[in-house]
Amino acid sequence: MLFFSTRDNLALFLSGKGKDRKGRTLDDILRKDDIWWDRTHDFIQWVFPNKERSRYNLLAPVYSASDALEYPDMEKSFERFCRFLNNTDWKHKGNHNLLRITRVIKSLRLFGRDDLADLLLIYVMDETKDIKGLEKSRVYWLHA
């Protein structure tokens, strides 16, 4: 049986009462170590959903503005993502975490957490200001 991600699946997952299509809860994912976070590519769309369908995880949920979903642990998820960035070598061209940063900023803004989105934006812009080759990423982050 093929599992399709629906608004209800996403709502339950974000509330901490549901699971993603691989049977993981939000808490399960937030407890994983940084190596798992770096190597696993099918969770970020669940933890930080946005309006765009993922090119890498076609079965991941897509957030609709009409969904008006509650995300009580968004700050906890944001803090975990920031801890991951601090412990990871993400600052080079072609790193998949550059795309994740864009996704996280967009998701934070969708859920009305401009304060957190701005903190992340300031951090990544400052951390990469002297790194050549990341100009395109910085433009994406600014537009997110």
pLDDT digits (tens, 9 = 90+) for 81-90: 999 999 999 9
> How many whole angstroms separate alpha carbon 26 and alpha carbon 68?
19
Nearest Cα residue to 57 out of 91, 104, 21, 23: 21
Question: What amino acid occupies position 63?
Answer: Y
Half-sphere exposure of 59 (CA within 13 A, CB side): 11
Domain ranges of the chain: 7-55+70-143
pLDDT recorded at residue 58: 78
pLDDT recorded at residue 2: 41
Question: Tokens in use for 6?
Answer: 């629906």
Query: What is the average per-residue pLDDT within 86-111?
Result: 95
Please tell me the pTM assigned to this model.
0.92
Higher pLDDT, 140 or 5: 140
